[in-house]
Amino acid sequence: MKKQLSILTALILVLSLLSACIIDGVEQSSNMSEESGVESKQEDVKYDFYGLEFKIMTFTNDLCDNGWSHFSYTEDQQEGVVNDAIKLRNTAIEEKYNIKIIEDEVYDAARMGGEAYTTLLNVINSDSDDYYMICPSIYTAAILAQEGQLYDLMSFEALGGLKDKWWDKAFVEEMSLFNKLYFVTGDMAIYARIGIPVMFFNKTQAANYDINDIYELVKNREWTLDKLNMYAKQYTKDLNNDGIIDYSDQYGFGYQVDLSYFWFYCFGGRMTEQNESGEPNINFYNNNNNFIITQILELMDQEYFLSANDYWGRTSEFTFSPSELIRDSFIDGRALFVMSGLKEIDHIATMKDDFGIIPYPLLNEEQEDYSHVLNIWHSNALAIPGYIGDEKAGIAATVMNGMGEETSKTITPAFYETMLKKQKSRDPESSYNLDIILNSIGCDIGHVYNWGNMCFMLNDLAENSSIGFASAWEKIKDKADVEFEQTIEKFRELKK
């Protein structure tokens, strides 16, 4: 699809530029770009889209039930600080562009296709409504992209190649195909933020065991897998002396089998690699990936690591998921480290002990940067639907980028405030660490398309490490190759 504005829209934009207003009557000062060092004028251009109803369709999930929203605000939202910030952001954008933001939420239990996907397709096929932007689950966004239903966001000048700080840099780099990107995450994607698994540690119990250097290790880039193993082992005790460490005992670290593919990515493992033209190839089984997987499985095989998946049989002890057993034992002070979605901070805040937020560890000190991964099931992406046509898509791109920038100024600080105020005693280190986490979010393209079930193969290894990486990959390799080629061929067709 070509992304040229119509002559009419171009004239509107030119006239808008000619009538640009100076903020408070004062010309904006020039600023130095942090990344390029090139001095550039940051001008506030006033647009006028004449009261346009800028409609957004959002696929919601259970996070919506907990009071989280992307673009709407109501009086009964649970998280008032973020709710107020959404209102401020929307008002600023509505005034800047002379538009009215309207969000239509469609509940999306399936997250992969399903009723929400069908609802959008019905709108597209009937051309009954104009949604300038959509916010589907990442899985559904990938389906829509393959079907040719989305614009290539890289082609819009207004989006600047998605290089601004309000877009997730790692996601942009990892998810591009043939140097095109059809959906993106960033500051606006609140589900991607609130659903991300983060590490919490019990500050009170750490101090009791003379473990006082965790924050310093993080700052010095010495927070590694070896350090986690050492402290987790140090903390573990068989409280009831039955010879088995479980959540009724004192243990070092808990999560679930998803740790395998989360940390595979965060330790530098990749399921694919891209050539210079942006075409990916599967490169899953190699020495580097084998080493990373071995390190993860060795951790998960230790008695001081507890996986919630081992407790599905104890249905009388949890309400929805055995993850509650791991989370609650941390709240009760029996776990030193736990991984949990950031959304669980409301529950964790009820604990008597104080807690801190830290990034995932580095694989070793040779790893350059901390890295974090989206929980794709919870996360939504942002996209511009192809059916609205080039003229409206140009408007959508302009507003989308402006909304991203304003979000970074209003909602992101409010989000930090909401998360950190849950601590018993707030500390600057957790704010620093949350910054590390939210600025290093990525996603392996293999996680999203999951060719041959390659992503969940890592979960299978975590539950039965005796299978071996080579054997597990050999079983699914042919299926993965076929499904991969089918996906890539669809995107090759979109290039024509």
Give the domains, in start order, of the chain with CATH numbers: 7-31+44-194+377-420 (3.40.190.10), 197-373+440-495 (3.40.190.10)
Cα distances (Å, whole numbers) of residue 237 to 166, 233, 250, 331 = 44, 9, 5, 17
Q: pLDDT at position 128, please?
A: 77
pLDDT grade for 16, boundaries at 50, 70 and 90 = very low
Top-confidence range, 83-87, 142-146, 194-198, 442-446: 142-146
- Chain centroid to CA 155: 23
Q: Cβ distance 353 to 331 under 8 Å?
A: no
Structure tokens at 18: 């000619």
Region of 30 (left: φ > 0; alpha: ψ -120 to 50; beta: rest) is beta
- Chain centroid to CA 374: 4
Per-residue pLDDT tens digits for 393-427: 999 999 999 999 999 999 888 888 777 767 655 68
Q: Cβ distance 272 to 445 under 8 Å?
A: yes
Beta strands in 378-418 (DSSP E): none
CA distance 51 to 212: 56
User: In the predicted model, is pLDDT for residue 383 greater than 50?
Assistant: yes
CA distance 328 to 234: 21
CA distance 55 to 403: 13
Nearest to 372 by CA among 158, 122, 168, 203: 168
Tell me what the pLDDT averaged over the chain comes to.
85
Q: Cβ distance 181 to 278 under 8 Å?
A: no
Nearest to 263 by CA among 227, 306, 296: 296
User: In the predicted model, is pLDDT for residue 4 greater than 70?
Assistant: no
CA distance 293 to 467: 13
pLDDT grade for 127, boundaries at 50, 70 and 90 = confident
User: In the predicted model, is pLDDT for residue 186 greater than 90?
Assistant: yes
Q: Residue 435 corresponds to which amino acid?
A: D
Region of 243 (left: φ > 0; alpha: ψ -120 to 50; beta: rest) is left
Q: Cβ distance 184 to 152 under 8 Å?
A: no
Share of the chain above pLDDT 70, in %: 86
Q: pLDDT at position 194, please?
A: 81
CA distance 304 to 325: 15
User: In the predicted model, is pLDDT for residue 483 greater than 50?
Assistant: yes
Q: What torsion, rounded to 10 degrees, do the Cα atoms 365, 370, 376, 381 define?
A: -150
